Amino acid sequence: MRVNKCFRAFASRRESDSFVADGRVTINGATAQPGQLVRPGDDVRLDGKPVSWSRLQVDLHQEDVFVSSASPLPLESSFRYLKLNKQAGVTCTMDDRVAGSLAQVLSPQLGGERVFSVGRLDKESTGLLLLTSDGRVPNAVLRSANGHEKLYRVRTDKRVSDADMAQLASGVVITTVAQSDGARKPLTAATKPCTVVRAAGRELLFTLREGRNRQIRKMTAALGYEVQELHRLTFAGITLGGLRPGEWMELEEREMVSLREAVRAASAGGTAVVEEDG
């Protein structure tokens, strides 16, 4: 369908046309053109935020389509599901005009095949990044209501006290930018309870079930600490699996089982996407 129809859930046709005309919309990292078509799996963004425009075309609850968590997703063979051990200095965008972008890192290895990142890690952060060409996946794994855990190893500039660890776990008020009705708005609110344990010295392990922009960095900064290293170890049942920095591979079958479960569960739960960032 035409790109301007991707926003009909929250904007009029005239507003949608203006989004595209003003250059605020990208498709797979490139600025969208008026009248451009989008296809299943395309990553559509407004002001840099993902728009969950593509609904399932089949009923995943029908037994002849989705028999069990081990059976394939419809059209699964048409999509790619990858995991990357992201290096520091790589920017999570598929815009090849950006120096150090994912597009520049991955496109030569993928032969030009288009994939997009599911959520992001900021430029300084490292570790697990999920990539796919399947537009159903972001809604399935990024919504905080779905409760998918993300585990991070974090090194701070000084040892975090036990009292501050407890505060981080219970919630810290931070300000991030949220997207509502197509507009970017500041959101000041306490973070949801999470798990924080000490690994060793200045290293902590954070387990989050939400994903606000630069959340861990802002949480620790609110208590007077600076993050020096942030590395994601797991995400929604997916692990690095021994990948060295800069390496990627197809998801393992056990990880595909988890992803199928997530897509199946999300198919009945709406399409609002929460953007996440390390």
Spell out the domain ranges in the chain: 3-50, 76-143+243-266, 149-235
CA separation for the pair 212, 176 (Å, rounded) = 7
- The tens digit of pLDDT for each residue in 173-182 reads 999 887 655 5
In terms of CATH architecture, what is 76-143+243-266? Answer: 2-Layer Sandwich (3.30)
Sheet with 44-46, strands from edge to edge, namely: 30-31, 25-27, 44-46, 49-50
Are the C-beta atoms of 50 and 93 separated by less than 8 Å?
Answer: no
Tell me the pLDDT of the chain averaged across its residues. Answer: 83
Global pTM? 0.72
CA separation for the pair 236, 238 (Å, rounded) = 6
Are the C-beta atoms of 122 and 214 separated by less than 8 Å?
Answer: yes
Are the C-beta atoms of 273 and 118 separated by less than 8 Å?
Answer: no
Same fold? 3-50, 76-143+243-266? no
Q: Residue 54: which pLDDT band, with cuts at 50, 70 and 90?
A: low
Identify any residues that bridge with 234 across adjacent strands, giving them in sequence order. Answer: 151, 239
Q: What percent of the chain has pLDDT over 90?
A: 40
Residue 252 phi/psi, 5° resolution?
A: -75, 160
In terms of CATH architecture, what is 3-50? Answer: Roll (3.10)
Residue 46 phi/psi, 5° resolution?
A: -115, 120
- The tens digit of pLDDT for each residue in 64-80 reads 333 334 445 665 667 88
Q: Does domain 149-235 have CATH number 3.30.70.1560?
A: yes
| Cβ-based neighbour number of residue 82 at 10 Å | 18
> Residue 62 pLDDT more than 70?
no
- The tens digit of pLDDT for each residue in 80-137 reads 899 999 999 999 988 888 889 988 888 777 766 778 899 889 999 999 999 998 888 8
Identify any residues that bridge with 198 across adjacent strands, giving them in sequence order. Answer: 204
